[in-house]
Every structure is written in structure tokens, then in C-alpha cells.
Structure 1
């Protein structure tokens, strides 16, 4: 279908309707007496505009939407509702334009009967983008089989301050690693770049553009006071790679950049995103974000004109874009600008095949494939920080009894992260359940007690935990944080938690000034340590917590992030047999006063230690131990005909356990007029090796990896660098003149 001709047929009201995403999708249907009906609210919206461009969250199921296993939609019901919606629009609007159904998939689709994968902060620690791409292929199929078309996913945020509650939605503190996972997310959701999206895939809506991870003091949506160099070096690369991979939709960020809100920043959305980077798709507003522009303009008509002129195409839940009609009628806005935005939306619907009779996939991904893929990701994301006296892996032959203690040992929703749908808990595994299965297989007795809540104490909890642990050979204490919402949580208009769930320590709007492990958990660990038994700490959390108060009492420490619905099995497997291979993607501070403490700071002359504390983190970016050991040999650095650097060599597993190692390649640039960073990640490769096995490896740094900004913010080729190669027991560096 010719979209320009369709646009020419549309009335002003119908055009404005294509840009409004005002409905909370879960309010457009109701279930009564075993049947599903479209609500009057939905029908009135259709009648008002004669056209609906997008509907957000029809299939959403969580405490905010109020949709649970009974009131929400199963896969079969979701298919029915999506058909009802499209059929109604076809029969009850003049032009019959189909609507986009847009859905959140921050770590799996936020709906019933959907796989909840490890969160972004967790999958980043796997350093395995290809495995992540497989997960996103599963998510895409789950979305499409229900009738959805857009998958909203956080890929663009680079977290520079772990106090920020949305750190769990970020792959880490590094732009290169974040970019690699963005590439994987786009291809997993959309398929190969520059191809028409088939019925197995959806359009990826990349969130959030831009620089949201540098909010002042780690505050959500806080002001961002960075310069253009920091913006372009740290926060822009994921968007650049997303566009190259074929991304056609992005969501603007709530924050400002140097005083200009992203939703009203024409320099950001038009001049940079579209003109400079070549983005041809549509920009979506974040939830109720355009209402915030009214706080500045004090006039919704002016706010609507400001936003659409600045490059916003699709609104979300606000009462601003409905005023576009009035703005044009009053002469405050040219209809040509409106037409440009509408055409972007129509073209994307055409790209998705919405104007054709394309059948949704009839078969979902098999449950076993989902489970194996998600479990493998959870395993590969677990980071071993400490292993004194080789207390891990647990010896099946020398272990008769095991105590499992802690607030995160047997709480499924605590290991799933923010924006999680209601789950069938029988199909998931907590840490306790994973260990119970493992201990049953090996005839090991297991005892359990919660010990404490995340933040608050349990009456007699510590004494009871100590009591049940007295006869155990070893203690697994499962600590950390939680982003779990419940029906006591109070929500903002955009769904962010306000208050009510006092045990939340992470998630949107749950920013922390203090990253220390809560006192209730510290006291639990100290009391258990008096038993004198080997104690292993497993940390389930959405951000790096300061471990210094509990680290001395723990013989081994594993960081598991939010490992998803099969995380219990993954953690049990790592504790007993499989060697951990995760590496940190956010530095773990020693003290709150060090923040921010990211690894790739600028190497200017300054005193790095404080008068009262060291300046270095407890555990740096890229850190992670293994049960085995690795050796790099025969290293060779060469250039090919394209002037790319080729780093090759061999890696040997010199230990007695099978394991995987991440070879990390960094560059330190030696510019003459710019203060450059200490080092910057530019390449990595994860390699699986059996015990004593040797493999060849090769990592290429192409011309794009060897570019930098000069003193005038012009992109130039690097000339003088130090190349740094790191893995667990190995460190090599070499100064290279790239001109010769």
C-alpha cells in the first residue's frame, strides 16, 4: 500500500489519532462470564479520533496494571483481544488503519505466560551477546504470537552511578559493551538488518535517548550536566550501533541535557539523531513525559508544538498531543510537520506488514528451549568475587548437610527484577529449590530459614537461622536486594514506584544514597559467622551493593544479579559443578563516598585516594574469578589490508575444571591536546575450554574502534595508543604507533 496516498486521504483528526498513545492498554478489555469484551473507554477513543496509532500494554500483568492470573490474558486470550482490537478498527473507522500494540519487554515480555529472563545488568555480566540474542529471539516470538508489534527495551542507558534505581536495566558502565548487547537485542527482536520484519519478529523500541545514566547523584530522571565529549563518547555509541543494526524506533529519555529536556531537544532528536546519524524511524515519548513540558511552557498547546517540532512522533499517556489538532487550527503548527510524523508511523506499520493479512506464528518456542536458554544465560552471568581455601565448588562426596539462609534464598520475585509479570511459581526455581534438587540427587541433607527480610528484621529470625545452621557442614547465605513490587506499592502516573513496598532496594524511582548491604542482613551474617563454619554468600541484586561489611565473614562470594525465573537452578549448578565465567560490568565501590567510581575516567593529574578512604573500588569492571585457571600464549598483534588491528594467540585452560574465559581488549589513547581515559574497552571474546584444552583466538579492532574525538570534537583516527590485553591471570600491554 502507498502510505503517501493513504496520508492524503486522512483528516486532521485521524492524523492526530495516529500519534496519540493515550490508552492504558489493560483498560481496553474486560473479562466477564468467560468472555472477553472491548470496553467503552476503548470505543470512545476510537470514535473521538477515528484512528488509533498505538496502544500500550494491552497484555501487561503486574501490580500497577492490577492484572493477575485471573484478570489478565493468557496466550490464547491475548490472541483473541488483539484480533478484537484490529477487527473493531477495520469495521468502525473510515480508513480501517490497524494499530500498533506496544509492549514492555525489559527482561522478557511483561505479560502472563511469558519467559522472565535475567535483567540487563545481569546478562551484561555474561559478556555473551550471542546468547542474549537467542533470548531476544524467544521474546520476539512470544510478543508476536500474542499479536504485539513493538517491544520496548532498555538498551541505550549506560549506568555511571549505581545509586540510580534503574541500574538493573543497564548492561553496565561501559559504552562498548553496552553497544554490543544493543546490537544483539535489535537483531534478536527484529531479525537481520535492512529486511522486512517477518511474523517471528517485532520492532525494537530502544530506550532511552539519551544520557539517562548520568543523572545528578543517581537520581531517576535527574538533571544531566555533562558536556558534548562525555555525551558522545559514553552515551551515544549504543544508539549509533542500534541504528546500524536497523533500529527504527527509540524512546526519548525523561532527563534534560544541559538544561534542555530530551523530549523538547530538536538538536538531539532532529539534528543529531536524524540528520547526523541517519535515523529514519519514529521517536516515542516516555510515559507522561510530555505533560512535564507543560510545567515549563504552562500551556499544553505550546508543549505539543515544542515536542513535535523537536522530533517526538508518538506520545504516551499524556494529555498534550491531543492539542496538536488545535495547534494546527490556530496556525501555531504547520500541518506538514504533523504529516511527517504520521508518515513515519504509517511507514513502520507497512514495514511490519500490518496492512497485509499476515498470520501470527501459530507455535511458540518450546518450553524446554526457553528454559535451557534462560538458565544458560543465568549461569554465564554469575560472577565469582572470592573463593578462599577453594571452598567452591561444593564437594558432593565431603558434604553431608547444607544450611540455606537469607531473604533471597526462597523468594522468587526478589530474583526477577522490576517490571516483572505475575508468574506461575511452580514453573520457576528459587535458590532453595535449585539446591534442594541438587542435594536430593547427591543425598545431602538441607535445612532452610529466611533469617531476615531485605531491609527489616524478622522476629527471632536470626536466632532461628543460627539454630538450624548449627549441624550443617556449610552455610549458603543468599543476600542482596529486591525490586519486587506488590499491591501495597503506590505508583506514579507513569508506573514508577512511589512508596509502599519498604523492602524494595532497586527499580525505577528506588534510588539509594547508601549502597551498603542493609543492616538486618549484615547482622545475620555476623551472627552466623560465630558458628565457625564455611560460609558462601550469594548476592541477588539489581545494582552493585557495597560488600565491605560482610566480605570478611564470607569464604566465597558469588554475584548473581537478578537471574530470572530459572535462576535457582543456575545458581545451584554453579555452586556444585560448573565453573563461573561472569565478569563485572559495573565496578563495586568500597564506600559510598567514592561514587561515581567507573573504570574509564579521564587520566588527568589528581590525587586518586581520599584523605579518609582509598579511591579504588573493591572490585573493578571486568573482574571475575573461576574454579580453573587460564594462560594466554603466542600473542601476536598485526594489521590487515583495512588497517584493522588483529590480536591473536592461544588460550589454555591450565586447571582441572572446564570453564570459559573472557579475553578483554582495551586501548589507552595518547592524544596531545585532549585528556584521554585511563583505558577503554574496544573488544572482547568469551571462549569455552575443557580442562587442559588449548584454543586459538582472534579479535579484530576495525577502523571504527580506532577513532576518537580531537580537541574540536571532530572524529579522527587514533595515532598513538597503548593496547592492553587482559584476562583473569594475564595482563599484557604494548605501545603502538598507528601511523607507521
Structure 2
């Protein structure tokens, strides 16, 4: 529909029809469907005269037949035949579930991440979805927060690259419309939601504007430059204002400074939550603050529906309502819904869901996302070894993670056992559960029977331990699968303690007494505290939540069919007392290397300053080294030339990192910050010449008012190849 016709349609809307467009409801209110509810589900108190089939959007219905029925009812109910928008919490895969975002980011293969996003977009499109509530690009530096799994991690550069890759994969090449097989991206959560005090979900955020502009806002800005069509507000307070009611944040920064012209949607009930925040006195005041802040969609409350009819009698609020509705209609038009309200639905069940191609991409991303944290020769496994695979993840389908349950099916997931049997002789493999992943299934309610079927019955821990030790005694090497079960990470899963359950530690201690090499395979949605058990492992592979093809990809890595290359996108602390700990920390006036006495420097008395595994950690079965050649600054970019050499007879690829180390600077800068990366593939003993370009604008820094600071001066850049580092200097 051209703009003239769209404007004509808009002008025909009544006030009540406009208000209905700003309402977004959970699918459970309109369809019998098992959906993810992430907020209060009590009676919303919607106006009696509001026809829910006339609202602007429904979310978290992922069944294409139900969506088709909903759209039919919406068109029947709408005087002007305005279709509904269908949105969903699809975070890292629709039916083909990819490794969780924190794992994907560690691959640093942003082209492959984009391919995975394209698969997710196509599967979502074929099931009638229009908008996905992802990517989440909140910078995170506190692993106590359960939602770190959804994030690209602690690093600004990584989050920016991840955001663009996913948005480009979802939306394709946008001109005036979003093409077939693509969907609109909704980035979240604006802003700084990933820095809650104490790592506690929904908690307040307090930081300097200098940190906000230079670090936490950067990934959102990159996403807006990539043309994301939607932004979701955050639950948190920032600078004394709840994000969903902040005019400064949403109008001055998001819209004016960054030029965002798309749809702004509240998170679940976030406008109503302005009241318990103490920022709004009642529902009317909440509606005023939400609309004045520029929030277009009120998700899952009756605030706009109840309060706007009276408010818009004032011209100021009528103008604000018109702004919101126009943006919503523009999004529907970009998706082509006025021409085809059943976009994607008429092609459902065409065999494009969970295809062999999508499985190949998922397997490749598993191989490139699992991080080899330690290897003292126990990996890769050999075909003539007798291997005891101990731990419930050895034969579990529950490896897709918390958020994948919205649209994914754990039955699709390839367990590690299946992957290993495809690569190793069956007679050389023995599997023992070792411990119960769950102490009971009561928390699953109606899903209890299905989870038990997937995971097996709860058994006596003593019996499982005995069986595991007997299997280990007969083996040449032990593969110990351990970590969190999937409900321990995700929204609402903040934890004060990040250690392993006692039963896992007890089993590991018993296995250690067998005197056999132990290979750890860690399944988790967040960094954990492994300090006391790290020395139990001869080799340690971090699998994260690997998704549908996890078992195949991990088996390929364990057996050497694939060579690890991933790096950590988030630091593993040595203890909770170090948190927050991350690689780009600011310099202190009294570092460990200062001339002050040992007592009066910045250090812990009872713990190392260093993490157990820092950002960027990750090994390979091969060994590589890098050497600088030249660094040349031109008008808009710096061109880096360097060589990378494979020192072994094992082919593989390595992720090269380039870090900035700027001292002195006009403001205190991080000790080092990642500014570029490149994946280099090398055959045995091969050497390659490589080139990376860095745009000088990427080196800009901001003061507390968001103004750029003079960036002239001397810069040092560190080339990091598997922890081997070289420095080169350049003056701008």
C-alpha cells in the first residue's frame, strides 16, 4: 500500500479504533495454546466494549492454524479490515534451535550467525509470525543474572556485530518492505537492562552517563543503524526513571539522537509497573507517562485501553496517540499485511521447517560455539579407547535451553549419545546417568509426564553414583557431562550462588579416585564458579545450551572430526565475590604493578584479581601464532596487516582478536577493549597474510553529556592469537 492510501486509511480510523491498535495481548487470552507467560495473568480489566479481535497485536501463538483463525476473526471484526500483528518470543530459533546467543557470540563467525537468523526468520515466516522479540543485545557483566544466556555477552564490539548479523538475517534487505521469508526484528531491552544491581531480575540500574554512552548504549545504536523495525523497553530504572516512562531515554536518545523511527513496544506489563516503581500514582498517570515517553504498544495491560479514551480529549494526547498508531500501521504496511493479511500462512507446512540444510547450519554453529577451556591431552577421543560417558546430559534431549520451549521441541534435539555412536564404535562406549538432572518433576505441572519421558524416572542418587563409578573403573577415559538444568537459566532465574550442586561435585570427586583422564562437558546458560573442581579435569569443553544439533556438534568436537575455535564471550569468575568481572575494566590508579606496598593496592586479600577464564579464552587442537606487519591510518579507517601461522600438522581455524590499549586518553579508558576480529582458516603448517580495516569512528568516546571527545593521540593495538600477544602503535 502506498503512503497516500495508508494515510487515507489512517484518517478514517475512529478514536476507539486507534486506541485498539496500541493494545498487545498474550495469545492465551484468544486461543487455547500453551504459550510462554512472563508476567501477571490475572483479569486485565479490559473495557467491556473492546473487541479483543480488533487489537493491534497478539503475541506468543506459534501454531499457524490458530494464527490463521485469529487473522480471519480480526478481519471480520475490523471495520477497515486492519490485520493483526503476530509477534513471538523466538530468541535463538523457531523449530531449528541454534546454540543460545551467548554461545553463538563466542563463535565470532558473524556470517554464520546471520545464516542461522535467516533460518529462524524463514521458519517463523512459514508459521505466520511477523515480529520476533529478539535479538536481546543488553550488555551483561554479571552471571548471576539469568538472562545472560540471551545476550551476546560482556563486550561492546561483539554485541554490536551480533546485533547487526541477527537483524540482517531476520529482516533481509529492507527497502520499503520486508520480503517473503523474513520477519521484523525487535531489539531489547532499551536500555541497560543487562546491568541490574546484584544481578537480580527486574532490579534497578545505576551507572554514569559516560559508561552508558560509551558501552551500554552502543549495541542498541548499532541495531538501529542496521534498521531494526522495533525496540522493546526495559523493566529497569535508569537515572531515576523507569525505562518505559522515560522521555529522555525513549524520545531524546532513541528517537532524536539515534534516529529510530520504528515501533516502540513495552515489555510485559511494564507500563502498569510504573505504579509499583513509585513513578506513576495510578493507571491514568501511567498511561500519560507511557504515551509521553513514546511507547506505542502497551503489552498485556489495560492501561492504554482504559485511560486513553479520556486522555485523548486533550489535543496533546491525541497527537501522541496519532504518532503511535501511524508507526504501527507503517510497520504492518512494511510487512505487506494490507495486501496479504495471511503472509506466510498460505505456505505453511511446505517442508521448510527443520530441513537438512538448517540442521547443517545448526551443527556448524555448535562446532563453532563450544569453547575448549582446557586440554591436557585427553581430547580428541580415540576410537580404540573405552569411554564411560557419565552424567544425565549423555543421553538427554533437554539441551535446547529455557527460551527454546516457546516454539522448539526438545524431542528434535540430538542427544550426545546419538552423536557419539555415529563417530565411535558402540562396543567402546558405556553410558551411566550418574545423578538425577532434576530432584523431582513437580515443577513442570501438566508437562510433568512429557519431561519425565524425555529424561527418565527419578532414581536413588546412591544407586546412580555406584553405577557411574563402576562404568568409570572399566573405562580408559571418562566423559563427565554436568552443569545446570535448563530451568536454572533464563528470565526469572537470577542466582546468588553459581557453584555446582553438591551431588555433581560428589560424583566428580568419586570419578577422580578412579585415576582415569576426565573430560568435562559443561552444559549451562551462564558462567559458573568452577574454581574448586577445574583441576579435576584433564580437558574441559563448554557446550552451553547447544540446541537441536548439540549432540552431533559436540561429538564432532570430542572426536576431532571438528576442531574447536570458539572463544568466551563472557568471563568465568573465580568466585562470586569478584562479580562484576570482565575484560574491559577501567584502569585504577593503584594497579597490581604500582609502586605502593602490597597492602595498599587494588587487590583482594583472599582471592586473585584474575578470573578463572577471561573473555576471549578458548583453545584449539592446533596451535597458532600471529605477528604484526603494518598498521596504517587513512582518513576514515585504519588498515591492519598481520600474519597468522599454524604451528602444527592439524588443520583448523582460529579467531584473531585485535584489542585497543589507549594510554593516556582524554578520559579513563578500559585496560583493553576489543575493536576487531577475524576468523583465519589454516592447513597444516600454513601461514597466511591477513588484513582488517577498522573505521576510525569506532574509536570515538563520549563524555557524560553524550558529546564526542577529541580522539587524536597515540593508540596501541594488541594482536591476540590463542593468547599470544603483540603490540603495534599508531598516532591519529
Kept in 2: contact 1:301–1:327 (CA 8 A): no
CA distance in structure 1 between the aligned counterparts of 2:334 and 2:406, rounded to whole angstroms: 29
Cα gap change, 1:180 to 1:356, in 2 (>3 Å): same
Which residue is equivalent to 2:656?
A: 663
Give how far 1:330 is off.
Answer: 5.7
For the pair 1:57 / 2:41, whether they are aligned, the reply is no
Secondary structure of 2:106's aligned partner: helix
Cα gap change, 1:712 to 1:668, in 2 (>3 Å): farther
TM-score (norm 2): 0.89
Secondary structure of 1:247's aligned partner: coil
CA distance in structure 2 between the aligned counterparts of 1:100 and 1:732, rounded to whole angstroms: 52
Question: Which of 132, 135, 154 is 1:154 aligned to?
Answer: 135
CA distance in structure 2 between the aligned counterparts of 1:117 and 1:44, rounded to whole angstroms: 41
- In the TM superposition, what whole-angstrom CA distance separates every residue of 1:712-737 from its partner, at most 9, and x where no partner exists? 64213522221111111521112322
Aligned-residue CA RMSD (Å): 2.2
Secondary structure of 1:460's aligned partner: helix
Which range moved further: 715-724 or 505-514?
A: 715-724
- In the TM superposition, what whole-angstrom CA distance separates every residue of 1:665-714 from its partner, at most 9, and x where no partner exists? 11122355421110111110112222222222111111221211257642
Secondary structure of 2:572's aligned partner: coil
Which residue is equivalent to 1:682?
A: 675
CA distance in structure 1 between the aligned counterparts of 2:307 and 2:84, rounded to whole angstroms: 19
Which residue is equivalent to 1:391?
A: 378
Secondary structure of 2:299's aligned partner: coil
In the TM superposition, 1:592-631 aligns within 5 A as 592-606=576-590, 607-631=601-625
Kept in 1: contact 2:86–2:129 (CA 8 A): yes
Give how far 1:322 is off.
Answer: 1.1
Which residue is equivalent to 2:145?
A: 164
In the TM superposition, 1:454-603 aligns within 5 A as 454=437, 458-484=461-487, 505-577=488-560, 578-603=562-587
For the pair 1:727 / 2:727, whether they are aligned, the reply is no
Kept in 2: contact 1:630–1:651 (CA 8 A): yes
Q: Relative CO higher for 1 or 2, CA cutoff 8 Å, sep ≥ 6?
A: 2
Kept in 2: contact 1:118–1:564 (CA 8 A): yes
CA distance in structure 2 between the aligned counterparts of 1:517 and 1:195, rounded to whole angstroms: 51
Kept in 2: contact 1:168–1:417 (CA 8 A): no
Which residue is equivalent to 2:423?
A: 438
Secondary structure of 2:379's aligned partner: coil
Cα gap change, 1:366 to 1:696, in 2 (>3 Å): farther
Cα gap change, 1:306 to 1:455, in 2 (>3 Å): same
Cα gap change, 1:30 to 1:674, in 2 (>3 Å): closer
CA distance in structure 2 between the aligned counterparts of 1:507 and 1:48, rounded to whole angstroms: 34
Give how far 1:159 is off.
Answer: 0.8
In the TM superposition, 1:85-124 aligns within 5 A as 85-109=70-94, 114-124=95-105
Kept in 2: contact 1:196–1:352 (CA 8 A): yes
Which residue is equivalent to 1:736?
A: 730
Question: Which of 626, 640, 653 is 2:646 aligned to?
Answer: 653
Kept in 1: contact 2:96–2:408 (CA 8 A): no
Secondary structure of 1:166's aligned partner: helix
CA distance in structure 1 between the aligned counterparts of 2:702 and 2:310, rounded to whole angstroms: 41
Secondary structure of 2:393's aligned partner: coil
Question: Which of 351, 357, 363 is 2:334 aligned to?
Answer: 351
Which residue is equivalent to 1:488?
A: none
Secondary structure of 2:298's aligned partner: coil
Paired residues in the alignment total 679
Which residue is equivalent to 2:226?
A: 245
Secondary structure of 2:256's aligned partner: helix
CA distance in structure 2 between the aligned counterparts of 1:632 and 1:86, rounded to whole angstroms: 57
For the pair 1:289 / 2:270, whether they are aligned, the reply is yes
Kept in 1: contact 2:465–2:507 (CA 8 A): yes
Cα gap change, 1:299 to 1:156, in 2 (>3 Å): same
Give how far 1:175 is off.
Answer: 1.2
Which range moved further: 426-435 or 693-702?
A: 426-435
Question: Which of 278, 292, 295 is 1:312 aligned to?
Answer: 295
Which residue is equivalent to 1:198?
A: 179
Which range moved further: 655-664 or 606-615?
A: 606-615
For the pair 1:298 / 2:295, whether they are aligned, the reply is no
Which residue is equivalent to 1:410?
A: 395
Kept in 1: contact 2:624–2:722 (CA 8 A): yes
Which range moved further: 174-183 or 401-410?
A: 401-410
Secondary structure of 1:349's aligned partner: helix
Cα gap change, 1:712 to 1:232, in 2 (>3 Å): closer
- In the TM superposition, what whole-angstrom CA distance separates every residue of 1:483-503 from its partner, at most 9, and x where no partner exists? 23xxxxxxxxxxxxxxxxxxx
Give how far 1:439 is off.
Answer: 2.0
Which residue is equivalent to 2:6?
A: 3
CA distance in structure 2 between the aligned counterparts of 1:422 and 1:182, rounded to whole angstroms: 22
Cα gap change, 1:321 to 1:219, in 2 (>3 Å): same
Cα gap change, 1:339 to 1:649, in 2 (>3 Å): same
CA distance in structure 2 between the aligned counterparts of 1:561 and 1:678, rounded to whole angstroms: 28
- In the TM superposition, what whole-angstrom CA distance separates every residue of 1:57-104 from its partner, at most 9, and x where no partner exists? 111xxxxxxxxxxxxx3xxxx1x3333222222233211101101111
CA distance in structure 2 between the aligned counterparts of 1:293 and 1:735, rounded to whole angstroms: 50
Give how far 1:10 is off.
Answer: 0.7
- In the TM superposition, what whole-angstrom CA distance separates every residue of 1:381-407 from its partner, at most 9, and x where no partner exists? 11111111x1111122x41x2101113
CA distance in structure 2 between the aligned counterparts of 1:623 and 1:103, rounded to whole angstroms: 34
Give how far 1:323 is off.
Answer: 2.4
Which residue is equivalent to 1:134?
A: 115
Unaligned 5+ runs, structure 2 = 34-43, 440-459, 591-600
- In the TM superposition, what whole-angstrom CA distance separates every residue of 1:319-366 from its partner, at most 9, and x where no partner exists? 211124333256495211100000000011111111113753734266
